């Protein structure tokens, strides 16, 4: 799990899902994992905690990841593999970033895109 490599200490999951401890390995023991039914109340709470809410999605207003400057206190919001982020969730975000692609299928899968985005965040804040 790339969360440990990127210094992530908190993971918030919304909707149905489960943690596979065989895949998560040590991350399951070092990561604060929260589970909630819906995303919108979580986003409002993160905003109250002074996080900049940045979604990873292709929209007409997305910023190119290669030219985006993250805030130090960023909450990266990742949508569903197939359906992405809802319009209601997008409306609550401060920014949306996307990763440019130059061929089919026009987007990376959610795990790859998340890893690439976290790497860019870490590149901008190498001190951890």
71 Cβ neighbours under 8 A, 6+ residues apart: 52, 54
In a domain, 116, yes or no: yes
In a domain, 91, yes or no: yes
**Integer Cα distance of 128 and 125 in angstroms:** 6
Residues of the domain holding 64: 39-124
In a domain, 5, yes or no: no
In a domain, 103, yes or no: yes
Number of domains within the chain: 1
Residues 27-74 have pLDDT tens digits of: 667 778 888 999 999 999 999 999 999 999 999 999 999 999 999 999
pLDDT of residue 92: 97
């Amino acid at each position: 799990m790339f969360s440990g490599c990127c210094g992530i200490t908190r993971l918030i999951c919304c909707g149905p899902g489960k943690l596979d401890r065989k895949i998560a390995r040590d991350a399951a023991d070092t990561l604060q994992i929260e589970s909630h039914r819906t995303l919108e109340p979580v986003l409002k709470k993160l905003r109250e905690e002074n996080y900049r809410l940045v979604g990873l999605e292709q929209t007409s207003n997305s910023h190119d990841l290669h030219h985006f400057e993250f805030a130090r206190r960023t909450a990266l919001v990742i949508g569903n593999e197939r359906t992405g982020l809802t319009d209601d969730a997008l409306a609550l975000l401060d920014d949306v970033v996307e990763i440019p692609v130059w061929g089919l299928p026009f987007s990376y899968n959610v795990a790859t895109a998340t890893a690439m985005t976290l790497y860019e965040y870490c590149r901008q804040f190498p001190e951890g």
